[in-house]
């Protein structure tokens, strides 16, 4: 059964834990289609979203997930918190914990921030993205989206294309996909692929057209112009010429290949408009599933009893 106290990353998650999360998420998805999109499960619980980085999708998704389970959700963003007065992260977390939340969701630009906080407080922590390290809920919603369409995950081949070095989404996906018995191929310019990444059990390719020919899923990553990528690329246009997923390149791929993207999308840079809007693209399904996956995690972390009903 599910015994995790916090979700800091997918590194170390076991296959049966991932399956439990995905199965639970599958059933929670139905709640969002009801006329009354709310169940009373976490009534009286408090969830704090502490976001030190900009986010639309993830923050809204966590907020909606908590509210659909009837929890009280409080959002704090970096620019409105006491950190601007110089309070350090641990003090902030301990002060928030003193108000007895039941889950603390944290996004921070420093790798390891979520884990550090989880060591300083008792309340369960969900990592909503920490630096270049992990973004576990994104990987889980990616898996749910793939499983929903393909039926199962075991043995599927995935190509992940883009800035591998600076992507927390990639790291979380590698751990989760390997745990589920999937084959992962990383694709991008050599400057964006960390040396020795193969030690995680993945293969590396530098040519998009060749790399996607036999895969079941293509995951495109955003070129993160706000990070230090300007040193890694000679120009965005060159990157786009070599690594943009266009319908012409897709002709080389399997007919039933799925395209996913963690968002936000730079239209025309890493993915062409018509590809993004084609029926093989599941980008908006990912967003829908994100709510269900986060509801599932909140439910599973705040465990109840299973021995009293007859």
Partner 1 sequence: MTSVVFDAKDISRAITRISHEILERNKGANNLALIGIRTRGVTLAQRIRVKINEIENTEIDFGILDITLYRDDIASGKQNPLVEKTSIPFPLEGKQVVLIDDVLFTGRTIRAAIDALIDFGRPSTVQLGVLIDRGHRELPIRPDYVGKNIPTSKNNRVRVRMSEDDGIDEVHIIDPSTAKNS
Known catalytic residues are 57-58, 85, 107, 135
20 is an interface residue for partner 1 by CB under 8 A = yes
34 is an interface residue for partner 1 by CB under 8 A = yes
14 is an interface residue for partner 1 by CB under 8 A = no
d(CA 102, CA 45): 6
Based on the number of CB atoms within 10 Å of its own CB, is 229 exposed (0-12), middle (13-18) or buried (19 or more)?
A: middle
306 is an interface residue for partner 1 by CB under 8 A = yes
304 is an interface residue for partner 1 by CB under 8 A = yes
Q: How far is the CB of 99 from partner 1 (least distance, A)?
A: 18
Q: How far is the CB of 11 from partner 1 (least distance, A)?
A: 23
Tell me which residues in 36-65 interact with partner 1 (CB under 8 A).
36, 38-42, 44-45
Integer-rounded Cα Rg, in Å, for the chain is 19
Instruction: Give how many residues touch partner 1 by CB under 8 A.
Output: 33
Q: According to CB under 8 A, which one of 215, 245, 293, 300 is a site residue for partner 1? A: 300
**Under a CB-based contact definition with an 8 Å cutoff, are residues 299 and 41 in contact?**
yes
Stretch that binds partner 1, among 29-37, 135-143, 227-235, 236-244 (CB under 8 A): 29-37
283/302 with CB nearer partner 1: 302
187/300 with CB nearer partner 1: 300
Contacts of 307 by beta carbon, 8 Å cutoff, 6+ apart: none
For the chain, the helix, strand and coil percentages under 3-state DSSP, each to the nearest 5:
45, 15, 40
**Under a CB-based contact definition with an 8 Å cutoff, are residues 280 and 259 in contact?**
yes
Tell me which residues in 66-95 interact with partner 1 (CB under 8 A).
69
147/157 with CB nearer partner 1: 147
**Other beta carbons less than 10 A from residue 224's beta carbon:** 15
Q: According to CB under 8 A, which one of 10, 24, 58, 281 is a site residue for partner 1? A: 24
Q: What is the DSSP letter of 14?
A: -
Q: According to CB under 8 A, which one of 5, 12, 16, 23 is a site residue for partner 1? A: 23
Q: How far is the CB of 302 from partner 1 (least distance, A)?
A: 7
User: Which sign, positive or negative, has the C-alpha torsion 4, 287, 132, 107?
Assistant: negative
190 is an interface residue for partner 1 by CB under 8 A = no
Stretch that binds partner 1, among 30-38, 87-95, 134-142, 193-201 (CB under 8 A): 30-38
d(CA 243, CA 190): 12
33 is an interface residue for partner 1 by CB under 8 A = no
256 is an interface residue for partner 1 by CB under 8 A = no
Which stretches within 181-262 are classed as H helix?
208-211, 236-243, 247-250
Contacts of 28 by beta carbon, 8 Å cutoff, 6+ apart: 292, 295, 296, 299
d(CA 61, CA 47): 13
| Binding stretches for partner 1 (CB under 8 A) | 1-3, 20, 23-24, 26-28, 30-31, 34-36, 38-42, 44-45, 69, 299-300, 302-310
């Amino acid at each position: 059964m599910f015994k995790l106290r916090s979700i800091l990353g997918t590194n170390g998650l076991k296959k049966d834990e991932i399956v439990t999360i995905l199965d639970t998420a599958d059933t929670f998805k139905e709640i969002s289609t009801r006329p009354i999109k709310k169940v009373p499960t976490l009534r009286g619980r408090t969830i704090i979203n502490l976001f030190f980085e900009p986010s639309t999708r993830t923050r809204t998704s966590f907020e909606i997930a908590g509210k659909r389970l009837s929890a009280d959700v409080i959002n704090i963003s970096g620019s409105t918190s006491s950190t601007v007065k110089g309070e350090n992260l641990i003090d902030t977390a301990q002060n928030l914990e003193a108000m007895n939340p039941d889950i603390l969701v944290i996004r921070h630009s420093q790798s390891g921030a979520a884990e550090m906080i989880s060591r300083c407080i008792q309340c369960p922590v969900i990592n909503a993205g920490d630096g270049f390290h992990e973004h576990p809920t994104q990987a889980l919603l990616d898996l749910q989206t793939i499983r929903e369409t393909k039926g199962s995950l075991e043995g599927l081949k995935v190509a992940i294309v883009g800035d591998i070095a600076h992507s927390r989404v990639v790291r979380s996906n590698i751990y989760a996909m390997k745990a589920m018995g999937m084959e992962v191929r990383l694709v991008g310019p050599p400057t964006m692929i960390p040396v020795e990444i193969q030690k995680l059990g993945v293969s590396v390719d530098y040519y998009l057209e060749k790399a996607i020919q036999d895969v079941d899923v293509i995951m495109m990553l955003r070129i993160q112009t706000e990070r230090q990528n300007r040193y890694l690329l000679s120009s965005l246009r060159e990157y786009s010429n070599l690594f943009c997923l266009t319908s012409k390149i897709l002709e080389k791929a399997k007919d039933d290949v799925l395209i996913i993207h963690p968002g936000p999308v730079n239209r025309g840079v890493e993915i062409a408009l018509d590809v993004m809007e084609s029926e093989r693209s599941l980008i908006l399904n990912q967003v829908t599933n994100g709510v269900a996956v986060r509801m599932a995690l909140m439910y599973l972390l705040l465990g109840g009893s299973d021995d009293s009903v007859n």
